[in-house]
Amino acid sequence: MHILVVNDDGPPSTHSSPYVHSLVRELQAAGHLVSVCLPDVQRSWIGKAHIIGQTVEPTYYRPPPLSLPPAGIAPVEGEADNAGTIHDRPFSNPSSTEEAPEEWVLVNGTPASCVQIGLYHVFSDRPPVDLVVSGPNYGRNTTAVFALSSGTLGGALEGATCNKPAIALSYAFFNRNHDRDIISEASKHSVRVIEALYKQWPKDTSIDLYSVNVPLVAGVSTHKTVFASILQNYWRGGGCFAAEEVADHKTDSKAAIAAEAEEEIRTQEKPAASAAAPTSASTTSKIGPITHRHFKWQPQFTDVYKSVDEATPGNDGWAVREGLTSITPLKANFWQAATELHKTEFQLDAPSVEAQTGPSLQGLSISEPVTPEYASDEPLYALVAYEDAYVQPIILNALKALVPEDKLHLLTAAPGATLPTAEQPVSLKELLSDATAPSPSPKVLQITPYEVIDFDYAASHSKSAMINSYMIRKALIRKHFLAGTVDQWVAKRPESVLRAHVKRTDTFEVDYAEFLDDALIESFDLRASLDENEAQENESERQWWILKPSMSDRGQGIRLFSTMDELQAVFEGWEEGDEDIDSDDDHNDAVAAADLRHFVAQPYIHPPLLLPGTDGRKFHIRVYVLCIGALKVYVHRDMLALFAAKPYTAPWETLEDDDTPDLSAHLTNTCLQDEADKGDSVRKFWELEEPQEGLLDQVFDQICRVTGEVFEAAAIAAPIHFQALPHAFEVFGLDFLVSESETGPTAWLLEVNAFPDFRQTGTGLQEVVAQFWADTLRLVVREIDPSRKGKDEDKKDKKTGLVLVKDVDLGRR
């Protein structure tokens, strides 16, 4: 790989740039061709700047030989000088037999200028650059306050805008004792991170660059490397300058030494509390005169440290504080907010009579139209009011990218309303009338909460309307119904894949704890197991079971037990009211009393598959599934792995004081985890480390076969409780747990969720959800209007992340 290295700290120096030569050496040792172009002086806090009108002039730096420590590392007594040398002209002596030395280019410009000159000029005779690495910065670049001003990030941003993959690398140190072994370990670790990021770089345009922060601590290569967001923080009262009084006879001086000022803030240790800045007086009719003062570069970082302390874990500042390497994927743009406002007119206050001049706003285009993938002569009327603010802009953006601007008409549920509610049911007929739809049967798409879907309109306009849910589907989404659906299907089809991938399930109803014994009369397998367990004094010899309330979600109310007494204690605890808590609380593992009636019990899956690089934590796989019409079932290939908060141990090894297992090692639903525990709890399935080649493919194949068959079972074996409609589509979230055995991994279906909680994917993997909805709406829009099907449909389908796993003709197409 040919890597262009730039930085904002200048050539190697113990004073301001001690790390760059160490990294370059490690990159070269790993076999990479490294070209280096650096500013000739320290250029921190300059961002992605160029100096207008500047003629950039280079000099040439020759680093010390390999026999000496890297330049920038202070030599110890007895070691020769390792500073390297600077020359006005590059090495050039064609007649000499002397081998050309390693030579870097120094320019009197900015980090961004170094990228331009390195890519397009001084190294143009070398092979094309594969990757731009900016850094390692002398100090961290975490949180927005630092990142937005960083010359290191500026260099990487310039590389990205030159259409090169780019990585901004920063070393966060905590004292000025620059131990050469720690620096060496950090550089070796950084090379591993750089190589892995380049190897795994997305093929699409979802990521332009990464910001990587490596803490300079012993053993950093053994610590976790985590994806983390940039903490959004702000200057509150500190700012970057301190005012100084100026004596009348004193002249302004421009001889401040920038490097010394920068060194003052290198370690970013918490400064002593400074005197409060003077507050402005209340507004009066008089404005005082301006006082002549000088302003010294003296950033006050109290706000920054406080913002990290106050923020929930998971951001880049937190990661470095904990000794972890942070990676933040970025786009080379100013990220857009409030995307639902795009292409709408901004409403100004009515101008005064005197100001009513100038050009009209009518016809002003505020953004370039998106080129749609499919064209149609018919307009599409869409009511998109998803209940989750995390998903709403994703769906809107996907729809706008798919349908031409002049053909897409977004409907509003009610004037001033953000989302429709059950108290204000939606009438598509009225909304279309208000929108003056030109056709009696216009093409209509409704994506709203289940409670407000206009099922009647969709049923009477089945050829032109599409809604985002089937009316009846509890055969799958209620746990006790799912158990019955599978039992009935497998009883008639013993060879079904569901037999080996859905645990046998006992279902029962309990109104009061005192009736539990009677409720289990027909739960033959469960009773027999509990009776056998009573005779086993050693918990490890017992068969453990998992209890799930059928009507709850988000992992609430789940319990583990192995004896009748333990099960009885669970119900008595609920009945006492200790855990009758509103199930809307995301971090509550209890369950609302209204849901405490129907239950399922299944043998606990042990041992689960544990993979390398996961700290021995149990995980389940979240699969996003799309069903269209009656009935096509698609599995989205981009699956997620959701991890438990603690390393896995068997249930009998995690008993707490009340003899119940510590659920944090067993439950993988991230809703139940505190923010401090989440860390890297959600990962991409295909990025997990395989203990043997092909394991992930094997699991994916099982998931596809099980998913297709369970929907077929619901549609055919339980038609009363699952009714696929030709004018509807629905998104489901299926959860699978993989067990480990001598014969290989087995993917067990745990449950089926309607309206899955996409927020659990998190912001770091939001592109997974965005891609899923883009692929989903591409197929859904075709169902509404087949004329949108282009000539390259087959080609596009091959690129989609949706895999067709079942096509069942239910006679309702």
**Residue closest to 594 by CA, chosen among 546, 547, 556, 545:** 556
Give the model confidence (pLDDT) of 530-576 as tens digits.
Answer: 999 988 878 788 899 999 887 766 667 788 898 898 898 888 887 77
Do 562 and 622 belong together in one domain?
no
What pLDDT is attached to residue 281? 44
**Same domain for 442 and 569?**
no
What is the tens place of the pLDDT at every residue in 613-658? 888 999 999 999 999 999 999 999 999 999 998 899 888 887 766 6
At residue 368, does pLDDT exceed 60?
Answer: no
Residue 245 included in any domain = no
Residue 98 neighbours by CB under 8 Å, 6+ apart: none
pLDDT band at 438 (very low <50, low <70, confident <90, very high): low
Taking only the tens place, the pLDDT of each residue in 778-787 is 999 988 877 6
Is pLDDT above 50 for 429?
Answer: yes
Structural domain containing residue 57: 2-74+82-227
14 burial (CB, 10 Å; 0-12 / 13-18 / 19+) is middle
- Considering the chain, what percentage of its residues have pLDDT values greater than 70? 80
Q: Are residues 519 and 490 in the same domain?
A: no
Q: Is residue 267 part of a domain?
A: no
Q: Is 16 among the domain residues?
A: yes
**pLDDT at residue 177 in the model:** 64
Same structural domain, 805 and 720: yes
Confidence class of residue 299 from pLDDT cuts 50, 70 and 90? confident
Cβ–Cβ under 8 Å, residues 604 and 651: yes
Q: In the predicted model, what is the mean pLDDT of residues 233-242?
A: 80
Q: Left (φ > 0), alpha (ψ -120 to 50) or beta: where does 31 sit?
A: left
Q: Are residues 691 and 584 in the same domain?
A: no
Q: Which residue, among 401, 375, 395, 387, has the nearest Cα to 445 in the 3D structure?
A: 395
CB atoms within 10 A of CB 368: 6
767 with 749, same domain?
A: yes
**Does a structural domain hold residue 324?**
no
> Which pair of structure tokens corresponds to residue 141?
């670049």
Q: Are residues 631 and 715 in the same domain?
A: yes
User: Is the same domain home to 401 and 491?
Assistant: no
Question: Do 178 and 34 reside in the same domain of the chain?
Answer: yes
Using DSSP, state whether 362 is helix, strand or coil: coil
- Same domain as 548, residue 434: no
Mark whether 535 and 613 lie in a shared domain: no
Looking at residues 313-329, what average pLDDT do you find? 91
The predicted-structure confidence for 744-766, as pLDDT tens digits, reads as follows 899 999 999 999 988 878 777 88
Domain tally, the chain? 4
Residues 481 and 516 in one domain: no
Q: Is residue 250 situated within a structural domain?
A: no
pLDDT in tens, 483-492: 999 999 999 9
Structural tokens at position 433? 């009338």
Q: What's the CA gap between 463 and 469, in Å, rounded? A: 16
Report the CATH number that the domain containing residue 762 is assigned in CATH: 3.30.470.20
Residue 322 in domain: no
CATH of residue 149's domain is 3.40.1210.10
- Cα separation, 252 vs 246, in Å, equals 9
